[in-house]
């Protein structure tokens, strides 16, 4: 079961990279500018190390599913549905890089109606859920912290770029970053 799950995760990541590369070509041809290029390799490295750590820790512990596997896997499937919804909502603007098309209106449909960064929220949930499904607790802890630190840098860079080149400031002034039920100051 572990190897099938790992294959699924790796396959999804590869598919996302294919979509991101295609979208990058499209929006750059339209005049998009890239931001955050200096920290992007660190994000890639973190995600590769996450998958390696998850694999090693899970195998070290016998690749046994958690007793909470049915619940955790159900949550994981919900998160995957949210990921697909997010990617479809952004369309050609979805990417793993920060690419901003000057003067393009920001997307305010799908999960973006309620929060500014659903994709980052989804990734944070995955980094927590995936290891827990196979009792890789250290991976869940270490990479949840690493991801939180990375997001502090990433989100600031993304929001600054969007504010400077789009209507992001006016569209998202009253939307929270991650939790739709949390009031905005």
Number of H helices, E strands in the chain: 6, 2
Considering the domain boundaries, does residue 179 fall inside one? no
User: Which domain range does residue 79 map to?
Assistant: 34-171
Q: Among candidates 120, 7, 118, which has minimal Cα distance to 54?
A: 7
- Please state the rounded mean pLDDT for residues 33-59: 97
Quote the percentage of the chain above a pLDDT of 90.
Answer: 85
The pLDDT of residue 176: 52
Answer yes or no: is 135 within a domain. Answer: yes
**Does the residue 9 lie in any domain?**
no
The candidate with the shortest Cα–Cα distance to 133, out of 52, 49, 77, is 77
Residue 184 lies in a domain: no
Q: What is the pLDDT of residues 120-169, one digit of tens each?
A: 999 999 999 999 999 999 999 999 999 999 999 999 999 999 999 998 88
Q: What is the pLDDT of residue 49?
A: 98
- The stretch 105-128 carries a mean pLDDT of 93
| pLDDT for 115 | 86
> How many domains would you assign to the chain?
1
In a domain, 44, yes or no: yes
Other Cβ atoms within 10 Å of 92 Cβ, number: 16
Confidence label for 185 from pLDDT (cuts 50, 70 and 90): very low
120 found inside a domain? yes
Backbone torsions φ then ψ of 95, nearest 5 degrees = -160, 165
Q: In the numeric block, which tokens belong to residue 5?
A: 């799950």
Determine the average pLDDT of the residues in 53-72.
95
Q: Are 169 and 108 in contact (CB under 8 A)?
A: no
| 3 state DSSP class of 94 | coil
Answer yes or no: is 28 within a domain.
no
Residue 177 lies in a domain: no
User: Kind and range of the H or E element at 67?
Assistant: none
């Amino acid at each position: 079961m572990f190897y099938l799950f790992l294959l699924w995760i790796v396959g999804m990541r590869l598919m996302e990279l294919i979509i991101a590369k295609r979208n990058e070509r499209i929006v750059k041809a339209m005049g998009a500018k890239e931001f955050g290029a200096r920290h992007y390799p660190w994000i890639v490295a973190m995600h590769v190390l996450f998958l390696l750590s998850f694999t090693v820790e899970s195998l070290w512990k016998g690749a046994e599913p958690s007793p909470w596997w049915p619940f955790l896997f159900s949550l994981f499937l919900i998160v995957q549905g949210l990921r697909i919804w997010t990617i479809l909502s952004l369309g050609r603007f979805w990417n793993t890089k920060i690419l901003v098309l000057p003067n393009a209106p920001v997307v305010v449909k799908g999960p973006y109606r309620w929060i500014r960064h659903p994709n980052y929220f989804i990734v944070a949930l995955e980094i927590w859920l995936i290891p827990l499904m196979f009792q890789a607790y250290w991976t869940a802890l270490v990479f949840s912290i690493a991801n939180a630190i990375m997001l502090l840098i990433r989100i600031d860079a993304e929001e600054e770029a969007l504010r400077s080149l789009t209507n992001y400031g006016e569209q998202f002034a009253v939307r929270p970053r991650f939790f739709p039920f949390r009031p905005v100051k």
